[in-house]
Structure 1
Amino acid sequence: MIYPLPAVLVSCGKDESEYNIITVAWTGTICTNPPMCYISVRPERHSYDIIKKNMEFVINLTTKDMAFPTDWCGVRSGRNYSKFEEMKLTPGRCTIVSAPLIEESPLCIECRVKEIVSLGSHDMFIADVVNVRADDRNLNPETGKFELAEANPLVYVHGGYYDLGEKIGKFGWSVEKKK
């Protein structure tokens, strides 16, 4: 398989009684314009029915500091636990979707499901990105762009969680002309 993968917390539910969090590694960007993301979830997961019913969710990027709740939310079921409460995570109000965002996340991506594709063990929820909220502490003051590396993102490599480590180069550095 292809690794590393982002380890994200996906939040879902239209009201507090239904709020849940699921850890997802099968996720990514699938289109820039229009902006679209996907998550792949097993149909037997508690969050699956919530997402399918409401047709929306939030992808919350995780950090090194969020490693414990990221793992815990992936091995415990929302059928048995209130994950926000158990992990002391703060549900926040989104701008467009009804699902909660996770206040502790440096980047929250509000998604509205466009299509569900049955693939086998997982179904892929293809979604339009309808809003993005970035923590001001991770915005470059000069460019206003989100600085992902500064947020210490958490990634997953089959069976383990890692931070990214040091930057080796930037896109295009291999072909830049020397000054």
Structure 2
Amino acid sequence: MKVSWKPGTMIYPLPAVLVSCGTMEHSNILTVAWTGTLCTNPPMCYISVRPERHSYPLIRENMEFTINLTTSSMARATDWAGVRSGADYDKWEETGLTPEPGVKVSCPSIAESPLSIECRVKEVVHLGSHDMFVADVVNVLADEKFMDPSTGAFDLAAAGLLNYSHGQYFEQGAPIGRFGWSVKKK
């Protein structure tokens, strides 16, 4: 039996990502779990950020950001960047993460991330506690060590991606099937 519970956002797990913003000369990273895909063609995604966050004006000013997927080996840096403010710390220095120049955007990506998604903001939607930055994906940077040389496919499962679920971090589990496997002819 189900019982009514207080309204809330209980859609978990979510990717725990590090968003880099600003420019190479003045950048910051922040941890975001409110992120996702909006459209395949054209490729679009979003992040939701509280306006009082230190990174918010950097994103608004430049209208660009990079979503960097995180791994279990990046868990401590991911958590640290989410509980400390870039107004008080140089998060790059404190986390030991490495900024790399963007290819199609002015903000850096994170060298240690297996996949970095360069985004250009198309629209800002004011929602309440958070503003949603709706963005076009303008480039994806993939770590070659996770690329299958024979197919050119990116092996996300091998990257050990980090997920966030109701206040906790988890390493992504083992795959149990591939899209369409339930209806595939034997």
Q: Same fold (TM over 0.5)?
A: yes
For residues 7-26 of structure 1, the aligned pairs below 5 Å read 7-16=16-25, 18-26=26-34
Q: Do the aligned residues in 1 keep the contact of 2:160 with 2:172 (CA within 8 Å)?
A: yes
Aligned residue in 2 for 1:158: 166
Q: Do the aligned residues in 1 keep the contact of 2:24 with 2:101 (CA within 8 Å)?
A: no
- Matches of 1:145 and 1:68 in 2, distance apart? 28
RMSD: 0.7
1:138 to 140, 146, 157: 146
- Matches of 2:143 and 2:24 in 1, distance apart? 24
Q: CA deviation at 1:123?
A: 0.3
1:120 to 102, 106, 128: 128
Q: Do the aligned residues in 1 keep the contact of 2:48 with 2:131 (CA within 8 Å)?
A: yes
Q: CA deviation at 1:20?
A: 0.2
Q: CA deviation at 1:142?
A: 1.5
- Matches of 2:122 and 2:106 in 1, distance apart? 16
CA-to-partner distance for each residue in 1:12-70, whole Å, 9 max, x for gaps? 11232x21000000001111011111000000000011100110000000001000000
Aligned residue in 2 for 1:59: 67
1:77 to 59, 81, 85: 85
Q: CA deviation at 1:170?
A: 0.8
What are the ranges of 5 or more consecutive residues in structure 1 without an aligned counterpart? none
2:55 alignment partner, SS class: helix
- Matches of 2:171 and 2:95 in 1, distance apart? 20
Q: CA deviation at 1:141?
A: 1.5
What are the ranges of 5 or more consecutive residues in structure 2 without an aligned counterpart? 1-9
- Matches of 2:98 and 2:144 in 1, distance apart? 17
- Matches of 1:51 and 1:114 in 2, distance apart? 12
Which amino acid is 2:151 matched to? T
State the TM-score, normalized to the length of structure 2: 0.94
Aligned residue in 2 for 1:5: 14
Please state if 1:48 is matched with 2:56: yes
Q: Do the aligned residues in 1 keep the contact of 2:38 with 2:45 (CA within 8 Å)?
A: yes
State the TM-score, normalized to the length of structure 1: 0.97
1:68 to 54, 68, 76: 76
Percent sequence identity is 68
Count of residues in correspondence between the two structures:
177
- Matches of 1:92 and 1:138 in 2, distance apart? 19
